[in-house]
Amino acid sequence: MAGVLDKFKLTGKVAWITGASYGLGLAYAVAYAEAGAKIVFNDINQELVDRGMSEYKKLGIKAYGAVCDVTNEKQVTKFVSDVEKKVGPIDILVNNAGIIKRIPMTEMTLEQWNAVINVDLTGPFICSKAVIPSMIKRGGGKIINACSMMSELGRETVSAYAAAKGGLKMLTKNICSEYGQYNIQCNAIGPGYIATPQTAPLREIQPDGSLHPFDRFIRSKTPAQRWGETEDLMGLAVFLASPASDFINGQVVYIDGGILAYIGQDPSNLDASKFAKHKDKETLTKKAPAKKTAAKKTSSKTVTKKAPAKTAAKKSTSKK
């Protein structure tokens, strides 16, 4: 009988990671190659594909890469058919390609909105649609979608991204619902804030020795009080692609150091003057105990605890 760790192996499987010339896609591919999979990737132009090919070569990974826009169904169909001929049928699809546009919603053009929805939501639909029939024929497969904390939360300037990633969460559940009977598992990874070269400036220590404001914001929201590393995502990526997760379907697993479980730290560094109105309210509430003291003199402990107790007593009396 195979040992439990053997169930995490991807030996001989063909794994297609979309948009994997660099970034998280490349990191997933490296993990899959280590687990024994054959790597296939696409990207939006030849320059990026070449960049990816040279990265894989440096790492000693034999990969198949080609230009293919995930929003173009014709290109995707051709890419899948070429992969089937040159590498083999696709066992694992990671819908990783994604874009984000940070623009306040009322300033966003319809074109910009559509661009994000097309890559982040329609792309996974097109690519999944292209591999599912062959997965059904061959008795199963794995689809892993790149969700985000924005699949659950909103934030300023990311309306299209949040709408797309929220939609992708539901596409994940729906692929599971429709094709789970064919032994296809569709799950998603929702990374939190991951330290990458692109986000390095946001983590730079300030000239006065303090944390960058955004770094402070993220750490104060994260129980782990740190950013994630790309390595933090790899265990789950391999697990969801492997037979070890064969009875897990339609799930989004967030790798966020606990952000989504946490209401956030006491923001003691907030500027109190901005909340003057709120302060006034607090002062009013604080004045209330004066009544309490008066009541204390005349009645029992239960009555003095809170004014509503009196009301409750009144009500129950009148009922009688």
Ligand X SMILES: NC(=O)c1ccc[n+]([C@@H]2O[C@H](COP(=O)([O-])OP(=O)(O)OC[C@H]3O[C@@H](n4cnc5c(N)ncnc54)[C@H](O)[C@@H]3O)[C@@H](O)[C@H]2O)c1
Of 180, 226, 194, 235, which is closest to residue 28 (Cα–Cα)? 235
Residue 126 or 295 with smaller CB distance to ligand X:
126
| Catalytic residue status for 161 | yes
Distance in angstroms (rounded) separating the CA atoms of residues 161 and 41: 23
Q: Which stretch binds ligand X (CB under 6 A): 40-48, 57-65, 133-141, 246-254?
A: 40-48
Residue 71 touches ligand X, criterion: CB under 6 A: yes
State the nearest-atom distance from the C-beta of 48 to ligand X, in Å.
5
* Interface stretch with ligand X, choices 20-28, 29-37, 133-141, 277-285 (CB under 6 A): 20-28
CB of 118 vs ligand X, minimal distance in Å = 7
Q: Which residues contact 88 (CB under 8 A, 6 or more apart)?
A: 14, 38
- Kindly state whether residue 44 participates in binding ligand X, applying the rule CB under 6 A: yes
In single-letter form, the type of residue at position 235 comes to: G
Applying CB under 6 A, the span of 15-23, 106-114, 132-140, 265-273 interacting with ligand X comes to: 15-23
If one counts every other C-beta atom within 10 angstroms of the C-beta of residue 217, the result is 16
Residue 231 burial by Cβ neighbours in a 10 Å radius (0-12, 13-18, 19+): exposed
In degrees to the nearest 10, what's the CA dihedral of 251, 137, 92, 100?
-70
Interaction of residue 166 with ligand X, rule CB under 6 A: no
Binding mask 245-284 vs ligand X (x if CB under 6 A, - otherwise)? ----------------------------------------
Minimal distance, residue 120 CB to ligand X, in Å: 6
Instruction: Annotate each residue in 96-135 with x if it binds ligand X (CB under 6 A) or - if it does not, as one string.
Output: xxxx-------------------x---x------------
Torsion of CA 88, 89, 92, 98, to 10 degrees: 90
Of the listed 161, 179, 193, 254, which one is catalytic? 161
Q: Pick from 196, 220, 251, 265: which binds ligand X (CB under 6 A)?
A: 196
**DSSP calls for 37-100:** PEEEEEESSHHHHHHHHHHHHHTT--EEEEE--TT-HHHHHHHHHHHHHHT---SEEEE-----
The CB-of-75 to ligand X minimum distance in angstroms stands at: 9
* Surface-to-core class of residue 120, CB atoms within 10 Å of its CB (0-12 exposed, 13-18 middle, 19+ buried): buried
Beta carbon of residue 268, minimum distance to ligand X (angstroms, whole number): 27
CB 131 within 8 A of CB 93: yes
Total residues binding ligand X (CB under 6 A): 25
Q: Which of 281, 265, 241 is nearest to 95 (CA)?
A: 241
Is the Cβ of residue 147 or residue 295 nearer to ligand X in the bound state?
147
Task: Name the residues that contact ligand X, by CB under 6 A.
Answer: 18-19, 21-25, 42-44, 48, 69-71, 96-99, 119, 123, 146, 148, 191, 194, 196
> What are the residue numbers of the active site?
161
